[in-house]
A and B are shown apart, each in its own frame.
Chain A
Amino acid sequence: MVGIVGYGAYIPRYRIKVEEIAKVWGADAPSYKKGLMLREKSVPGPDQDVITIAVEAARNAMKRAGISGEKVGAIYVGSESHPYAVKPSGTAVAEVIGAVNDCHCADLSFACKAGSEGMFLAYGLVKSGEVEYAFGIGADTSQGAPGDALEYSAAAGGAAFLMGTKNVVATLDCQYSYMSDTPDFWRREYMHYPRHAGRFTGDMAYFKHVRGGVEGLLKKAGAKPKDFKYIVFHQPNGKFPVRMAKDLGFTDDQVKTGLLVPTLGNTYSGASPLGLSAILDEAKPGDAILMCSFGSGAGSDGFIFTATKALPKVQGKAKKTRDYLDTNPFYLDYGTYVKFRRKIRKNVED
């Protein structure tokens, strides 16, 4: 049976509150908080990027999997904020975990669903027998343009999933993907910040594609909403995934464990993967989990997992998602935040 043999999360320690951003731009914090259902977001430290986050998430997954790095035959890092425009991120992950040199590596991008794409590829390669173990990793340190609505939510974090066939902690029972060519959000080459199509990003993009992904997945699996203990959707804000879940016939109880966005923000490629890692931290053997990502552009990847008897044995082997999210955060003021995020133009040192 193919499934997850190790999983790991990473969220930076720094946070900024909605009020702190709103006061700089003369915006009304309570209406942003209510509109986005989000209180604060994570911020990467000045020495953190997608590579460092992907590495830490992968290390945590390796602690849980308990296998040696040479056995990992493929590594896919999905992100919309890879540190280099040209030069892969996954190669650094491979070096750190000791997967070099006998390994296939590629970076992926598809807005916020780049992480779940990696999971899809890793699953397919393991299932075909091409590799013994493969990593799908989603991580982002996304930027919103200063003053834009996205600045309140664009956050940093990532999660890694090692697929394999031995000592599976969650079987991957069914997969379905849904897509169309929809320009709801994009960033052109050499641009610092992405642009989005405002209200168009809701109904025509997020809701259409998550609905398409979940309904297609349920149909393929012959399953119903009540069959699942946990569900997790892409969470660009607190409102979208909760409304989508309700529309599709899921309950708040199924949503709450994987809903990290109110205090995490939108971690883009890391968002639904981090929700899944938070669920795996708590799930019990036999629990069924439904995950559906969303990436602008646009598409969704849906997965059904079932926790196995092996899961409880690995949950405590690495730091849990909620430990990263809830323990000892460090709150930044807006000035330090823009310094960390390099939004201040300086003279080049000679």
Chain B
Amino acid sequence: MLTPAIVRRNTPQRYRMEAAKCAKCGKVFFPPRLICDACKSRTFKPYTLPQEGTVVSHTVIRTAPRGFGDEAPYCMGIVELTDGTRILCQIADCEPERLEIGLKVAIEFRKIQEAGESGVIAYGYKAVPER
């Protein structure tokens, strides 16, 4: 269920891709964590992820979960950003036949989900093939 509270709570990550960088060893966590799994440090610095990357794994969703049926078929993938961070996201504006490993993508701000016709709209990041 998409609620206003969930939309608000996700804003730093969904809107501006705010990650956490371990202050001790530099490992990046997205979404942020409380403890670094590499060095057990609990101190992090806010860090904004880069907006470009390449597709390292992908699939086409043809049988969509409820609420996403109108969008099928749509592309999903793991994107390796230019700093090495990997994120899972939808790949929008992409014909399924164009999808391939190594496809260069940019991160764009898109609508993710709507709570019906009268509810809140959730926005966030999607990858988009370079035009």
Contacts and interface: CB of A to CB of B under 8 A. Distances in A.
Given A45-B92, A324-B131, A348-B116, A96 B71 contact: no
Q: How large is the interface on B (under 10, 10 to 19, 20 to 34, 35 or more residues)?
A: 20 to 34
A183 interface: no
Contacts of B117: 348
B66 interface: yes
B131 A96 contact: no
A92 B15 contact: yes
Interface stretch (A46-54, A144-152, A157-165, A201-209): A46-54
Interface string B13-40: 0011000000000000000000000000
A63 B52 CA distance: 13
Nearest to A326: B131
Given A95-B15, A348-B116, A52 B131 contact: no
A47 B111 contact: yes
A49 B112 CA distance: 11
Contacts of B110: 45, 47-48, 52
B109 A83 contact: no
A134 interface: no
B123 A51 contact: yes
B66 A48 contact: no
Given A46-B71, A55-B109, A96 B16 contact: yes
Interface string B113-131: 0001100010100100001
Contacts of A56: 108-109
B70 A49 contact: no
Contacts of A92: 15, 123
B101 to A, nearest CB: 20
A28 to B, nearest CB: 32
A339 interface: yes
A323 interface: yes
Given A52-B110, A52-B123, A323 B131 contact: yes
B71 A328 contact: no
Nearest to B12: A95
Nearest to A44: B111
B66 A49 contact: no
A-B CB proximity, top 6 nearest: A55-B109, A47-B110, A47-B111, A327-B131, A95-B15, A328-B131
